[in-house]
Structure 1
């Protein structure tokens, strides 16, 4: 355990050194090579005092990154491909790799198995509410996980997911026999020059094929006192997190409590932004906000301690982050929700619900079901 934490601290130190020596890129150039990968939720033990309960161990590592000195960036807005390189220009080799790429095999999934029954999940919601009523916390996010056997190409699954559940963040990462594929609607944090921003999401309703029903559900969502209170609390938490690394007085909420639609659900979304302190790096920003309050609760550290007590197994990549630290100093990370993590013939899918004082256990179970709908459809 201690060696694992020391390894994570070494990674953070390496990232700090990389970001300290990052060079400003061209205007409008978000990514120009650098590190791309994921950070598991459990890396938080290197940042906060969260004791491990039992022998919890995730299937995937606490973090994995690839260092890319050349590659292709596709600008979806402009509809253009860009090739970048720092030293050797390998564009001809890249063209050949594209030509040589073969057809991916069909992916076949077995029967999903949840690590908690509805009764067990609802019992844990009740225990979480006891902590809320006693004043330990205001909110906590409890999750459960599916384990699913599979055969075939998850790259092919990713292509299907892009059509079924297009989201602000779509990603497929492969490290040896480990794969991460997802469609996250939620940004953890983005750094562009000295501008940093995050988009807290909290509050959920279904999104249907009936426009009139969607409008009624959106109005109901915005009028729900439980959803509004939860969202305001998480916006305040995001403001506090950014305030740790931004100039005093620059943290603002330019967009507040807007309903945003996705393929299967609609959420309340806000935007929080600020101006980064001079000398602060992308790693500083990442450490200030990780993990997101929308996947832990508030106060954040105490909520994470309760998550450790009540959840079954380590979270692994779920509720962590996926994205990049660019060599030009920029950074952009999504929260790893609505995401499959795979290794050795099994994939894992996890979802949660925010528990507050007036939460109904069965209602929270249903919310956790809704959040996995798009991936099961794909």
Structure 2
């Protein structure tokens, strides 16, 4: 028998039902991605971080902040702001989740770096490299949630856009047809390679000079550390959905995703968690320090040990840990913020990363809006102190970051959230792809190494674009 819960929420009856036979969410998404505003948060690297994948379907409320313009379902709002409305909506639509699943009701979307820069009141003299809204949150009636560890799929319908019973039945029928191969998805495998043209917004020597200027600011005492980014514009004929599937296969990640907003698509394979909160328990997991994977087991081990023992990378990560602790202490209970991991090496398909883990407990009366206001954008991709680092970033970089180094994820009506740091991510718009690559700069940074590190970080995405 399939497990099933039903819950009365106001005038709606939610149904949460386990699919009788397991199908991976990635296979189901091949079909559901055709629906308007259907999105996928993808844990293709199944580990202690990447346990759940989530598909959002049947949107009923879409919030867009685009410059000074705030719309709800396309209707401009004059009497309230994006932030005011979101806080009010979350406070007035609290919906308990007693299923054990990460989300049964809530929104999926993103906040761009420039949204955070504006909220931090850091002005910018730079131009957009690609223009998309600063923030989008879409509330969904229906979710498909995959427990990637247990190999289980749960279907969720809240009865907002149509009867929950009808929606669950329809979804089950589609899943059964997919299983029986009566619905064709994208065929896997593209042996032929696409030609791509890459246009960086820095020449190599320009980038190295910008890093040198950033080091000078550090020596002068303006900052301790900052993140320096170059952005690439890529011409490729490859469809964004094909890029996503090839990327998740070649470079699995715990915090990836595919979000199609019609005029633009987002392809993400991020390894970094920004914020997770459940039952007021908060977790952030900054990355600082990267080495490429070796060509042989011996070289691989050498690169791992080099990163593990790097004083420069440990110093860099420690400064970000201090910044994140300070940010969390602004909204967490006194004494609750603790570093639970300090220098852990995580391995991915093309790189090793040095990471830390910080936990805290949110103060009573605070919610996800307060948490984001205190911490966004993430310190690992700004620097310390945050405000001055962001000013210097805007001075030395050659364009607005937009989505890059922002956050993609979900927030729920029971007060939980899980957001990544937007790295290893491409935005597709008007036939071109846009991606950023950067790294933390300290007084000990080597100019050549920092430039090469950006290329290493872009490697998996560039390969997927071919």
Shorter-chain-normalised TM-score: which range? over 0.9
More displaced stretch, 184-193 vs 286-295: 286-295
Q: CA deviation at 1:36?
A: 0.5
Q: Is residue 318 from structure 1 mapped to residue 401 from structure 2 by the alignment? A: no
Q: CA deviation at 1:118?
A: 0.6
Q: Is residue 20 from structure 1 mapped to residue 106 from structure 2 by the alignment? A: no
Q: Which ranges in structure 2 are unaligned for 5 or more consecutive residues?
A: 1-64, 72-79
Change (3 A) 1:54 1:81: closer
Q: CA RMSD in A?
A: 2.1
User: Quick one: distance in 1 between partners of 2:310 and 2:227?
Assistant: 18
Of 155, 158, 163, the match for 1:86: 158
Corresponding residue number in structure 1 for 2:331: 245
User: Quick one: distance in 2 between partners of 1:206 and 1:159?
Assistant: 23
Q: CA deviation at 1:375?
A: 1.3
User: Quick one: distance in 1 between partners of 2:232 and 2:129?
Assistant: 16
Q: Is residue 53 from structure 1 mapped to residue 125 from structure 2 by the alignment? A: yes
Asked if the contact 1:23–1:327 (Cα under 8 Å) also holds between the matched residues in 2, the reply is yes
Question: Equivalent residue of 1:15, what SS?
Answer: helix
Matches within 5 A, 1:73-152: 73-87=145-159, 88-89=163-164, 90-95=167-172, 99=178, 100=183, 102-103=185-186, 108=194, 110-152=196-238
User: Quick one: distance in 2 between partners of 1:365 and 1:74?
Assistant: 38
Q: CA deviation at 1:196?
A: 0.5
Q: Is residue 37 from structure 1 mapped to residue 109 from structure 2 by the alignment? A: yes
Asked if the contact 1:19–1:325 (Cα under 8 Å) also holds between the matched residues in 2, the reply is no
Q: Deviations over 1:111-149 (max 9, x none)?
A: 111111111101111111111111111111110111112
Q: CA deviation at 1:345?
A: 0.5
Asked if the contact 1:25–1:329 (Cα under 8 Å) also holds between the matched residues in 2, the reply is no
Q: Is residue 353 from structure 1 mapped to residue 436 from structure 2 by the alignment? A: no
Change (3 A) 1:197 1:176: same
Question: Equivalent residue of 1:316, what SS?
Answer: coil
Aligned length: 377
More displaced stretch, 46-55 vs 135-144: 46-55
User: Quick one: distance in 1 between partners of 2:81 and 2:437?
Assistant: 30
Q: Which ranges in structure 1 are unaligned for 5 or more consecutive residues?
A: none
Q: CA deviation at 1:91?
A: 2.3
User: Quick one: distance in 2 between partners of 1:81 and 1:193?
Assistant: 23
Of 318, 325, 336, the match for 2:422: 336
Change (3 A) 1:154 1:17: same
User: Quick one: distance in 2 between partners of 1:120 and 1:216?
Assistant: 31
Asked if the contact 1:188–1:289 (Cα under 8 Å) also holds between the matched residues in 2, the reply is no
Q: Is residue 195 from structure 1 mapped to residue 281 from structure 2 by the alignment? A: yes
Q: Is residue 215 from structure 1 mapped to residue 301 from structure 2 by the alignment? A: yes
- Looking at CA atoms only, which structure, 1 or 2, has the larger radius of gyration? 2
User: Quick one: distance in 2 between partners of 1:339 and 1:205?
Assistant: 19
Matches within 5 A, 1:230-241: 230-241=316-327
User: Quick one: distance in 2 between partners of 1:27 and 1:192?
Assistant: 13
Structure 1 residue ranges, 4+ long, deviating more than 6 angstroms after superposition: 104-107
Give the alignment's TM-score, normalised by structure 2.
0.77
Question: Equivalent residue of 2:336, what SS?
Answer: coil
User: Quick one: distance in 1 between partners of 2:108 and 2:195?
Assistant: 28
Change (3 A) 1:176 1:95: farther
Corresponding residue number in structure 1 for 2:290: 204
Q: CA deviation at 1:5?
A: 4.4
Report which structure shows greater RCO (CA 8 Å, sep ≥6): 1
Q: Which has the higher helix share?
A: 1
User: Quick one: distance in 2 between partners of 1:170 and 1:316?
Assistant: 18
Question: Equivalent residue of 2:321, what SS?
Answer: helix
Asked if the contact 2:66–2:133 (Cα under 8 Å) also holds between the matched residues in 1, the reply is no
Asked if the contact 2:226–2:442 (Cα under 8 Å) also holds between the matched residues in 1, the reply is yes
Change (3 A) 1:101 1:284: farther
Change (3 A) 1:3 1:255: closer
Q: CA deviation at 1:50?
A: 0.6
Question: Equivalent residue of 1:181, what SS?
Answer: strand
Asked if the contact 1:198–1:271 (Cα under 8 Å) also holds between the matched residues in 2, the reply is yes
